[in-house]
Structures are given as structure tokens and as C-alpha cells.
């Protein structure tokens, strides 16, 4: 069975919340992986590209799916939630079928599986670039580029590349990541493609573990650093947490920003309120959310995506969220 005949089927026929990809389709995907690897290149080449990076409303709503590549598999109370690849793909196909979801942010393996399943036609695809700072590893701040590079993003017809930039002033490994991100920003800009930088301040706790620092001053500092990376900022976007003081954090840049959904909290309604505050800032253009939408507490992916979509519409069109 060719990739072309499968291209429109999965997204149109996505099963309901908690269900799985059909057995026939799952076996087809596994067989294609094993016996027809050339189909991946064909899927990249034949994919229908989106007409623009942002929607007609000037916003960008992406589902993030690059966590497994860094060994971050937990969601909620399940330490191996994202290790179930069939379940992850079903959730992604469900989310991508929502008309307000513009596309996906993912590592090459996930993007290629979604391509083969036909779920990325006309969608924005942002390739995840540095996944080498493994979750829990001693070298986690030395976030090596082990995924897409700028050349491959161009060749594959993707709309941009994303990089994680965790900054810990006490960890020398931050410097090499900083330099690598600057180079990637320059390379993507040379191709006139978006560079999505996710700058996050970190510090070590009493046990020596890296912990995200979420105060406005620390976030505004890394925003300023990330905004200046590379030989030009013309194509740079920033991916940032909602923050308790969004005016200070998002007021530190003129670059377009998207709100980082982060790990799902115990209260989805509180997450929505926090995202809504950030979406009111002038530089904020959208949402990039992964686990909070793919693994909601009630398991209803469609409903979680719909709630986030209404929130984004309310921020841009004055609709009732």
C-alpha cells in the first residue's frame, strides 16, 4: 500500500478519545518502516505545504511531540505515558484533526510517522533540533543537536526549526548550547525559515538537580539573551512559559512569541487561565502545547484541544472562551 493512498485516511478517520489506531493501519505503518523506508522521503516530498506560517487570524497553534527524543516520557502520574508510541500517534492524529490546530512540533521520527499516516497535509511542521540534553542526565545542559539540522529542515520542506536553550549560570555546559543555538538561528534565517527558540532559566536545587526558575526577572533575562542570538533576529520566534507576570516577561522583546504549555498541572482550568493571561500580551501569537493536551486528566484529547483553541480565538477575536 503506497503512502499516497494512505495520506488522507488517518486524519479523516481518527478514532475517539482513548481509542487506538486501527490494527490494519498500525500493521501497515510497521511494515512500511521495515520494508519500504524510501516512503519517508516520498512523504516529505509530496506533502501539501501550508500557505503560510500563521493562520488567517495571524496566530499559530502547534501540538508539541518532541519530548520522547530527550527521554522525557512521563505525563501526569504515568512515568511511561509517552513511551506508548501507538497511543501517542493516535492522540496526535486526533489533535491535528482539529481545524484550529495549525501543525506540529516534533522530532524526525514522530514527524515521519505522522507523514506516513497522512496527518500533516497542509500543516505547519517545525522540526526539533537539539535533543541531546537528556532528561536526568549529568550533561543535560549541554544540549547537543541530535535531531534536525537547518539543511535538512530546508530539504524536507519544513516551516522552521525549534531549539531548547536552558541557561544555568553555574553550569559551563550552557555555553556550548548557547553557541550551537546561535549558529542554528543564523542558518535557519539564511533560508528564511523560522527559528523557534525556547529560552528557560535554570538553577540547581539542594540535591544538585536542575530546576526551572520561573520568576519574571529571570525569564526576562533569558528572553533578552535569546532575542540577540545569531547574525539576525528577523526570523526568530520565542517559546515561553505563561509566567505569573507576563507583562514583564513578554515585554522584554519585540519578537513574536508563543506560549509554552508545559507539563500538565493538577487543574486544567488553572492552566487555561494562565495561558489566557499570556495570550493577552501584544507580542504573543499563539500556543505550543504538548502533554497538557495529549494527556489530559480525563483522557479526552479532543475536548482539551478544543478548550485551548477557544482560548486562542478569544484572545485574538474577542470570542467568549
Cα(164)–Cα(196) distance, integer angstroms: 9
Residue 314 confidence (pLDDT)? 93
| Alpha helix stretches (DSSP H) within 13-53 | 23-35, 38-46
Alpha-carbon 156 to chain mean position? 17
DSSP tag of 78: B
DSSP tag of 1: -
Q: Is 129 in contact with 147 (CB distance < 8 Å)?
A: yes
**Residue ranges for the chain with pLDDT beneath 70:** 1-19, 318-321
pTM, to two decimals: 0.93
Alpha-carbon 159 to chain mean position? 13
Residue 318 confidence (pLDDT)? 65
Residue 183 confidence (pLDDT)? 98
Q: Where are the domains of the chain?
A: 3-317
Residue 160 zone, left/alpha/beta (φ > 0; ψ -120 to 50; rest): left
Residue 3 confidence (pLDDT)? 38
Residue 77 confidence (pLDDT)? 86
The dotted CATH code for 3-317 is 3.20.20.70
Write the CA distances from 139 to 52, 129, 197, integer angstroms. 37, 17, 20
Cα(55)–Cα(53) distance, integer angstroms: 7
Residue 307 confidence (pLDDT)? 96
Strand 124-128 with 160-167, pairing: parallel
Amino acid at each position: 500500500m503506497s503512502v499516497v493512498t494512505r495520506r488522507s485516511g488517518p486524519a479523516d478517520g481518527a478514532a475517539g478519545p482513548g481509542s487506538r489506531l486501527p490494527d490494519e493501519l498500525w500493521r501497515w505503518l510497521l511494515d512500511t518502516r521495515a520494508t519500504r523506508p524510501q516512503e519517508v522521503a516520498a512523504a516529505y516530498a509530496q506533502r501539501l505545504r501550508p500557505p503560510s506560517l500563521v493562520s488567517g487570524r495571524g496566530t499559530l497553534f502547534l501540538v508539541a511531540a518532541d519530548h520522547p527524543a530527550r527521554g522525557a516520557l512521563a505525563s501526569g502520574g504515568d512515568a511511561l505515558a509517552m513511551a506508548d508510541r501507538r497511543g501517542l500517534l493516535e492522540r496526535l492524529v486526533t489533535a491535528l484533526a482539529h481545524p484550529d490546530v495549525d501543525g506540529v512540533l516534533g522530532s524526525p521520527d514522530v514527524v515521519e510517522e505522522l507523514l506516513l499516516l497522512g496527518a500533516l497535509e497542509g500543516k505547519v511542521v517545525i522540526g526539533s533540533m537539539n535533543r541531546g540534553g537528556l532528561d536526568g542526565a549529568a550533561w543535560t545542559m549541554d544540549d547537543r543537536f541530535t535531531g534536525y539540522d537547518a539543511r535538512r529542515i530546508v530539504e524536507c520542506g519544513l516551516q522552521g526549526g525549534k531549539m531548547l536553550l536552558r541557561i544555568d549560570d553555574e553550569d559551563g555546559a550552557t555555553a556550548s548550547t548557547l553557541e550551537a543555538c546561535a549558529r542554528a538561528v543564523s542558518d535557519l534565517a539564511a533560508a528564511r525559515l523560522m527559528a523557534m527558540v525556547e529560552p528557560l532559566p535554570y538553577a540547581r536545587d539542594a540535591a544538585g538537580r536542575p530546576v526551572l526558575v520561573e520568576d519574571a526577572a529571570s525569564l526576562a533575562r533569558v528572553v533578552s539573551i535569546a532575542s540577540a542570538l545569531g547574525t539576525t533576529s528577523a526570523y526568530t520566534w520565542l517559546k515561553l512559559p505563561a509566567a505569573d507576570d507576563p507583562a514583564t516577561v513578554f515585554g522584554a522583546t519585540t519578537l513574536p512569541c508563543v506560549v509554552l504549555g508545559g507539563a500538565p498541572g493538577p487543574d486544567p482550568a488553572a492552566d487555561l487561565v494562565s495561558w489566557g493571561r499570556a495570550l493577552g500580551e501584544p507580542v504573543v501569537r499563539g500556543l505550543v502545547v504538548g502533554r497538557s493536551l495529549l494527556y489530559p486528566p480525563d483522557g479526552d484529547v479532543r475536548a482539551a484541544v478544543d478548550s485551548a483553541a477557544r482560548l486562542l480565538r478569544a484572545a485574538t477575536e474577542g470570542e467568549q472562551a
